[in-house]
Amino acid sequence: TGAPTPAPRKNDPETLARQIVEKLTYSVGKTPAEARRYDWLEATTLVIRDRIIDQWMESSQRAKTSGEKRVCYLSMEFLIGRLLRDAINNLNLTEPIREALSRYGVDLDLVELLEPDAALGNGGLGRLAACFMESMASTDIPGFGYGIRYVHGFFRQEIADGAQVELPETWLAHGNPWEFERRELAYEIGFGGKVTTIQEPGRPARQVWRPAERVLAVAYDTPIVGWRGRRVNTLRLWSAQPLDPILLDAFNSGDHIGALVESNKAEAITRILYPADSHQAGQELRLRQEYFFSSASLQDIIRRHLHANENLSNLADKFSIQLNDTHPAVSVAELMRLLIDVHGHEWAEAWEITRNTFSYTNHTLLPEALEHWPIHLFERLLPRQMQIIYAINAGVIREAAQEKGFDDSKIAAISLIDEGNGRRVRMGQLAFVGSHAVNGVSALHTELMKETVFHHLHLLYPDRIENKTNGVTPRRWLMQANPGLTDLVTDAIGPAFLDDIEKIADLDPLADDAAFRERFAAVKRRNKEQLANLIGERMATQVDPGAIFDIQVKRIHEYKRQFLNIIEAIALYDQIRSHPERDWTPRVKIFAGKAAPSYAQAKQIIHLANDVARTINSDPAVRDLLKVVFIPNYNVSLAEIIMPAADLSEQISTAGLEASGTGNMKFAMNGALTIGTLDGANVEMLEHVGEDNIFIFGLTAEEVAQRRREAHSGRSIIAELPLLREALDAISSGVFSPEDPARYHDLVSNLYNNDWWMTCADFQAYWDTQRRLDALWQDQDEWQAKAVHNTARMGWFSSDRSIREYARDIWKAGPDA
Ligand code: 26Y
């Protein structure tokens, strides 16, 4: 092309300092003397952004002209957190930028803290999407993220009198320098209305959908920089806007509020993130969000395809679309509609293209988190898509009956329509049949998918389900979060692991080197001091960095069993008080996480953690032997401080319930030992780190299923375990809630009558394993050796490895395709 290439930018502190001051002057409008820290953030971001844009244009151009296959990752959630440190690190500018700012007496670390944390997601699934975006850019895959630009991300959590309070989050309040609005990229999205059949002489009948409502989807692009800046991919988020900003007739006739009703209704679609994860959220607005971003993304993909291709017949050769859970599953019906109604393809060909283009990742087996929409709602909002779903269903059922001889009960199991439940559309079934590949997120979870939710669909399509174990990006979760450890490892084995994280295995022999272990422990100690300072400042609780930092951070859910952890803390408290003479190992139990606002049990668990913390921390009898801390408002930025500071990582879900977990990987990578069940990716972590270096306890998934079939309850177990009984008695008699002694009656009586989550069943094994860990802590050489093995053996859990597997087996895209 004839455009002049900009001169390569210089990266010395001199040049960077000059450019930052230039931005400060001409873009922010401040002199260095007047500038506040926030102004320096803005100026620094703009300097980094310029460098990214050069690479971004280059990458986009390359993907366009090479004709290589592009990967679109459709996700309702992208939990990306802060971007500045990520970008600076991936461009290798950390030291020169630090130096440039220090010339003006400005501390880069403090500046970075002012960036808002983009929380466009709930938890694991959203954070996985963010790690995958970074890894696609780092492994040179032309990846495109598609999602929703929520005005309000995940709520801010405060704790008031021990209970969770939800407050609105406002990440866009000061503008967002990372995003670029693309006004020219806007698509119409319809809702409601009618479908009519048009029969023209000599031509096949056509269906025409005339929506009753229409809104605009406008694109906002954010660049995602890969490691060493080699590739910059795009995260495209859709914002809903009205076609007409105001109804002038209404306004002129005096109805000033009514004139804005349409506009408000449109904007409501992308106003707020639903704060429910593995807990039901079946509301109309959510279905509108799902269809809104699915349709906009597909229209955009089709436009991009037709830019370089004559028609859509070869769509699947040029684009792969990954559905991140069922949230975008309506895409299957929508692509069929676009292919048939808009682009004139025949049904059979459209179905072939659709299936070859889509693939689907399942993240949960929990019945309450499986999406199924009432037919009447679906039909009212998306009448044409409903027709298409019926037609898809008819085809699948025909195939099952004719080719596999499925009987009625098997047909009912695979049907896209759940007839038993007030008639609902099953989104998992839709995503499954509309995809050529379906994957689970850990080996165990994938096997359970085959046996449970998708048992019959797996019989019908036995080659479709495969496993893709999750991973996390080592750039954010090791290099940026833990610079001390990164420097130490670099010093010990050289920098090769920065480009290929599996080379961190070279560290393994150093577990036997006493001098190295000491340095490793010293890094951990500094990270713990940093977390202790944060806890001191935010919560006015003093914790001793010499104690075991025992940490459970994740969404609050019964199946994740924060309750089990709290009961163990109470039992330990009880024992310390009864036997003050024993040689107790000091522990700090740290919790953080948010509960879905409508999930009463989860909120009770938060309340209990805070009540227990209040009681134990103010009891002089336990001195510094036990502290309990609940840190409010867990988010990505807080996780970056917590992960490197853990000695012990709690991964204690009821076996068979946690699809994978990714926090487990972040902790172990940073040298924490894991106490965990044989659940999700813990099983594979055991294989990689070896049984001497991980602490596994409790029932297996199979044993859990067995006990549930036997209608197991906790009563007899509690009767036999005095430690457990006394802890539960303390809770239910109001020891921790004297102002409201009955507060936890329900929580405790559920254990007696049902114990659905095997809290009682696993208690003794959990307690025993914790005491083994207490003893191990007394032998610091042993503990630190195991910690080194964990860091050295976690390379496989990089999201680079996950992404390479997706690219090779599912997408057939990327440098090795
Ligand atoms: C339908 C709605 C209520 C809903 C919204 C969000 C349902 C589920 C979710 C999110 C689920 C989620 O985050 N799942 C987690 O995905 C991680 C990444 O694969 C797993 O590591 C983790 O085990 C799983 O719980």
DSSP letter assigned to residue 655: T
192 or 367, higher pLDDT: 192
Q: Which atom of ligand 1 is nearest to the CA of 327?
A: 1
Q: Which atom of ligand 1 is nearest to the CA of 369?
A: 7
Of the residues 426, 555, 561, 627, only one is catalytic, namely: 555
pLDDT over 60 at 216, yes or no: yes
Told to judge if 560 belongs to the known catalytic residues of this protein, a careful annotator would answer yes
Q: Which pLDDT belongs to residue 784?
A: 98
Q: 373 C-alpha to center of ligand 1: Å?
A: 18
d(CA 616, CA 635): 26
Question: Do 325 and 364 meet the contact criterion of CB atoms below 8 Å apart?
Answer: yes
Reported as a single tens digit per residue, the pLDDT across 776-787 is 999 999 999 999
Per-residue tokens: 530: 């940093």
811 φ/ψ sector (left φ>0, alpha ψ -120 to 50, else beta): alpha
pLDDT over 50 at 556, yes or no: yes
> What residues contact 256, with CB distance under 8 A and at least 6 apart?
none
Of the residues 476, 587, 666, 804, only one is catalytic, namely: 666
Residues lining ligand 1, Cβ inside 6 A: 122-125, 128, 276-279, 281, 363-364, 369, 371, 441, 470, 658-662, 680
d(CA 791, CA 785): 10
Q: At what angle do helices 600-617 and 562-578 cross, to 10 degrees?
A: 20
Per-residue tokens: 790: 């964990």
Q: 273 C-alpha to center of ligand 1: Å?
A: 14
Told to judge if 30 belongs to the known catalytic residues of this protein, a careful annotator would answer no
Q: Whose CA is nearest to atom 5 of ligand 1?
A: 277
Q: 66 C-alpha to center of ligand 1: Å?
A: 35
Q: Which pLDDT belongs to residue 65?
A: 87
Domain boundaries, the chain: 1-66+92-116, 67-82+117-469+804-811, 527-797
Residue among 76, 79, 154, 277 whose CB has most ligand 1 atoms within 8 A, to mutate: 277
Of the residues 82, 305, 560, 786, only one is catalytic, namely: 560
Cα–Cα distance list, 203 to 111, 198, 341, 715 (Å):
65, 10, 14, 71
Neighbours of 711 (CB within 10 A): 7
Q: 34 C-alpha to center of ligand 1: Å?
A: 46
Quote the Cα angle for 392-394-395, to 5°. Answer: 65
Q: Which atom of ligand 1 is nearest to the CA of 126?
A: 13
Which range, of 255-259, 640-644, 717-721, averages the lowest pLDDT? Answer: 255-259
Q: Which pLDDT belongs to residue 422?
A: 87
Going by DSSP bridges, is the β-strand pair 424-426/417-418 parallel, antiparallel, or unpaired?
antiparallel
Which sign does the torsion angle of CA 246, 251, 256, 259 carry? Answer: negative
Told to judge if 528 belongs to the known catalytic residues of this protein, a careful annotator would answer no
How far the first Cα of the chain sits from its last, in Å, is 27
Torsion on CA atoms 807, 809, 811, 817, rounded to nearest 10: 60
Q: Could you tell me which residues are beta bridge partners of residue 66?
A: none
User: In this prediction, what percent of the chain has a pLDDT beyond 70?
Assistant: 99
Q: Whose CA is nearest to atom 12 of ligand 1?
A: 125
Reported as a single tens digit per residue, the pLDDT across 452-475 is 999 999 999 999 999 999 999 999
Helix or strand (DSSP H, E) at 522 = helix 514-539
pLDDT over 90 at 230, yes or no: no
Question: Do 128 and 803 meet the contact criterion of CB atoms below 8 Å apart?
Answer: no
Number of alpha carbons in the 13 Å side-chain half-sphere of residue 411 = 16
Q: Which pLDDT belongs to residue 281?
A: 65
291 φ/ψ sector (left φ>0, alpha ψ -120 to 50, else beta): alpha
d(CA 390, CA 337): 13
Side chain identity at residue 186, one-letter code: A
Q: Which pLDDT belongs to residue 485?
A: 98
Q: Which atom of ligand 1 is nearest to the CA of 445?
A: 23
Q: 768 C-alpha to center of ligand 1: Å?
A: 31
Told to judge if 812 belongs to the known catalytic residues of this protein, a careful annotator would answer no
Number of alpha carbons in the 13 Å side-chain half-sphere of residue 565 = 35
Q: Which pLDDT belongs to residue 479?
A: 97
DSSP letter assigned to residue 644: G
Q: Which pLDDT belongs to residue 5?
A: 62
Mean pLDDT for the stretch of residues 666-679? 98
Q: Which pLDDT belongs to residue 4?
A: 64
Q: Which pLDDT belongs to residue 326?
A: 98
The DSSP string of 220-269 is EEEEEEPGGGS-EEEEEEEEEEESSSS-HHHHHTT-TTGGGHHHHHHHHT
Q: Which pLDDT belongs to residue 277?
A: 84
Per-residue tokens: 440: 């689970």
Reported as a single tens digit per residue, the pLDDT across 235-291 is 999 999 999 888 899 999 999 999 999 999 999 999 999 998 877 667 999 999 999
Told to judge if 445 belongs to the known catalytic residues of this protein, a careful annotator would answer no
Quote the Cα angle for 661-663-665, to 5°. Answer: 85
Of the residues 69, 327, 355, 363, only one is catalytic, namely: 363
> What residues contact 727, with CB distance under 8 A and at least 6 apart?
567, 570, 571, 574
d(CA 195, CA 207): 6
Q: 119 C-alpha to center of ligand 1: Å?
A: 15
Cα–Cα distance list, 252 to 134, 248, 374, 654 (Å):
50, 6, 40, 61
Report which of 68, 123, 96 is spatially closest to residue 595, judged by C-alpha positions: 123
Domain covering 527-797 in this structure, CATH number: 3.40.50.2000
pLDDT over 50 at 482, yes or no: yes
Per-residue tokens: 374: 């009432």
Per-residue tokens: 442: 């850990």
d(CA 150, CA 240): 9
Report which of 473, 452, 61, 126 is spatially closest to residue 273, judged by C-alpha positions: 126
Residue among 273, 363, 558 whose CB has most ligand 1 atoms within 8 A, to mutate: 363
Question: Do 409 and 628 meet the contact criterion of CB atoms below 8 Å apart?
Answer: no
d(CA 551, CA 647): 8
The DSSP string of 450-472 is HHTTTHHHHHHSTTSEEE----B
Per-residue tokens: 781: 């050489």
State which of 362-371, 635-644, 708-717 shows the largest mean pLDDT: 635-644
DSSP letter assigned to residue 272: B
Told to judge if 712 belongs to the known catalytic residues of this protein, a careful annotator would answer no
d(CA 155, CA 92): 33
Side chain identity at residue 232, one-letter code: V
Reported as a single tens digit per residue, the pLDDT across 314-341 is 999 999 999 999 999 999 999 999 999 9
- Strands (E) in 777-817, as ranges, are none
Q: Which pLDDT belongs to residue 1?
A: 47
Question: Do 332 and 290 meet the contact criterion of CB atoms below 8 Å apart?
Answer: no
pLDDT over 80 at 400, yes or no: yes
Question: Do 553 and 592 meet the contact criterion of CB atoms below 8 Å apart?
Answer: yes
Question: Do 123 and 157 meet the contact criterion of CB atoms below 8 Å apart?
Answer: no
Residue among 125, 279, 293 whose CB has most ligand 1 atoms within 8 A, to mutate: 125
Count of helix runs (H) and strand runs (E) in the chain? 34, 24
| Total length of the chain | 817
125 or 249, higher pLDDT: 125
Q: 659 C-alpha to center of ligand 1: Å?
A: 8
d(CA 501, CA 492): 14
| 67-82+117-469+804-811 and 527-797 have identical folds | yes
Which own/partner contact pairs does 340-346 have at CB distance under 8 Å and 24+ positions apart? 340/207, 340/388, 341/206, 341/207, 341/208, 341/209, 341/384, 343/302, 343/311, 343/312, 345/312, 345/313
ipTM of the shown complex: 0.99
67-82+117-469+804-811 topology per CATH = Rossmann fold (3.40.50)
d(CA 680, CA 800): 19
d(CA 669, CA 640): 12
Question: Do 385 and 445 meet the contact criterion of CB atoms below 8 Å apart?
Answer: no
Q: Whose CA is nearest to atom 10 of ligand 1?
A: 277
Side chain identity at residue 329, one-letter code: A
pLDDT band at 3 (very low <50, low <70, confident <90, very high): low
Q: 142 C-alpha to center of ligand 1: Å?
A: 25
